[in-house]
Amino acid sequence: MNCTFETLINPEWNVPRYAAEANKITTELVCRPDVPRFSDVLPILLAYVQSRQAPGKPVLWVAHNAKQFDVPFVIQEFERCSAQVPADWLFVDSLCLARKLKKSDGNIGLLNLKALGEHYGVSSEGPSHRAMPDVQALCDILPKITLGLKLTCDGLIGEARKFYDFRKVSRM
């Protein structure tokens, strides 16, 4: 069974130059009528996640630099759709975990995904700063970080925050 979901999103505004330089996603690539808007994808995303969610269990999202990028972006897009992020969606920022690990492991240098991949011997396929290659790299890197921190699954969930908790923290 394919357990991945990936799509470009039409942001309905111009992609900033710095973002296009980092991820190679340009205004010309996404601001087209054939590229769905977030409001088009949201019901599909919600149904997809719900179809894979264990009854009564939270959904755990993990992203590198989630606190500064992914979570604010997701909240903004949900709000643009007059929707709320489901209360049982939790988020872990793997960059925060890597920072904790770096304090005890002096061999870790830079904390971006590429550098962590090199540190752990994880090869990345595809361009960095694109969803699926970053997800695949993080799937290989996260277990190594959690092992270094001696984090169990329950411990990882203990590191998680609700989406709106990230918003409160990032505004401080």
Instruction: Give me the active site residues, please.
Output: 129
**Tokens, residue 56:** 């009564």
**SS3 state at 11:** coil
Distance CA 158, CA 141 (A): 19
**Tokens, residue 164:** 């709106």
SS (H, E, C) 80-137: HCCCCCCCCEEEEEHHHHHHHHHHHCCCCCCCCHHHHHHHHCCCCCCCCCCHHHHHHH
Give, for 53, the enclosing helix (H) or strand (E).
none
